[in-house]
Structure 1
Amino acid sequence: MSPTQPSQPRNPATATPQPAPESARVIAALEGVGVRRYSSGQVILDAVDWTVRSGEHWALLGANGAGKTTLLRLVGALMFPTVGTVEVLGHRLGSVDVRELRAVIGLVSGAQKVPQDATGHTVVLTGATGTVQPLWRKYDAATRERAHELLTELDCKELADRPFGVCSGGQRARILIARALMAEPRLLLLDEPFNALDLPSREDLIDALHRLAVGRPELATVTVTHHLEELSPAIGHALLLRDGRVQAAGPVDEVLTGERMTACFGRPIEVSRHEGRWLARSGKR
Structure 2
Amino acid sequence: MASAPFPTEESVPPPAIAVERLGCRLGGRMVLSDIGFSVPGGEILGILGPNGSGKTTLLRCVAGLQTPSAGRVLIDGDDPRALRPVELARRLALQAQDSTAALGFTVRDVVGMGRLVHRRSPFAGAGAEDRAIVEDALDRLELSGLAGRAVEQLSGGERQRVMIARALAQRPRILLLDEPTNHLDIHHRFAVLDLVRSLGITVVATLHDIELAARWCDRILLLADGRLQADAAPEDALTPDRLTAVYRVAAAVDRRPEDGLLRIDLSPLMSPRTEPSR
TM-score grouping bracket, smaller chain normalisation = 0.7 to 0.9
Unaligned runs of 5+ in 2: 1-8, 271-278
Counterpart Cα distance in 1 of 2:100 and 2:217: 28
What's the CA shift for 1:151?
1.3
Q: Specify the alignment match of 2:139 in structure 1.
A: 152
Counterpart Cα distance in 2 of 1:269 and 1:243: 20
Q: Match for 2:194 among 204, 207, 210?
A: 210
Q: Match for 1:269 among 236, 242, 251?
A: 251
Q: Specify the alignment match of 1:11 in structure 2.
A: none
What's the CA shift for 1:44?
1.1
What's the CA shift for 1:244?
0.8
- The amino acid across from 1:175 in the alignment is V
Let me know the Cα RMSD of the aligned residues. 2.6
What's the CA shift for 1:72?
0.4
1:177–1:282 Cα change, 3 Å:
same
TM-score, length-scaled by structure 1: 0.79
1:140–1:24 Cα change, 3 Å:
closer
SS in 1 for 2:52: coil
- The amino acid across from 2:210 in the alignment is L
Contact 2:14–2:76 (CA under 8 A) maintained in structure 1? no
Q: Specify the alignment match of 2:223 in structure 1.
A: 241
Unaligned runs of 5+ in 1: 1-19
Q: Deviations over 1:39-83 (max 9, x none)?
A: 52x211111111111211111111111111111011111122111
- The amino acid across from 1:223 in the alignment is A
Contact 2:92–2:175 (CA under 8 A) maintained in structure 1? yes
1:232–1:178 Cα change, 3 Å:
farther
Counterpart Cα distance in 2 of 1:208 and 1:277: 20
What's the CA shift for 1:258?
1.3
Report which stretch shifted further, 227-236 or 105-114. Answer: 227-236
* Residues paired across the two proteins, number: 253
What's the CA shift for 1:124?
0.6
Contact 1:210–1:232 (CA under 8 A) maintained in structure 2? no
Q: Specify the alignment match of 2:274 in structure 1.
A: none
Matches within 5 A, 1:1-285: 25-37=14-26, 39-40=27-28, 42-93=29-80, 95-97=82-84, 100-129=87-116, 137-197=124-184, 201-214=185-198, 216-217=199-200, 219-231=201-213, 233-274=215-256, 275=259, 276=261, 278-282=263-267, 285=270
1:281–1:24 Cα change, 3 Å:
farther
What's the CA shift for 1:162?
2.5
SS in 2 for 1:129: helix
1:137–1:232 Cα change, 3 Å:
farther
1:83–1:98 Cα change, 3 Å:
farther
1:230–1:118 Cα change, 3 Å:
farther
SS in 1 for 2:133: helix
What's the CA shift for 1:273?
4.7
TM-score, length-scaled by structure 2: 0.81
What's the CA shift for 1:143?
0.7
SS in 2 for 1:222: strand
Contact 1:123–1:175 (CA under 8 A) maintained in structure 2? yes
Q: Percent identity?
A: 31
- The amino acid across from 2:162 in the alignment is I
SS in 2 for 1:138: coil
What's the CA shift for 1:180?
0.4
1:211–1:182 Cα change, 3 Å:
closer
SS in 2 for 1:268: strand
Counterpart Cα distance in 2 of 1:145 and 1:251: 37
What's the CA shift for 1:237?
0.9
Counterpart Cα distance in 1 of 2:220 and 2:156: 25
Counterpart Cα distance in 2 of 1:273 and 1:172: 34
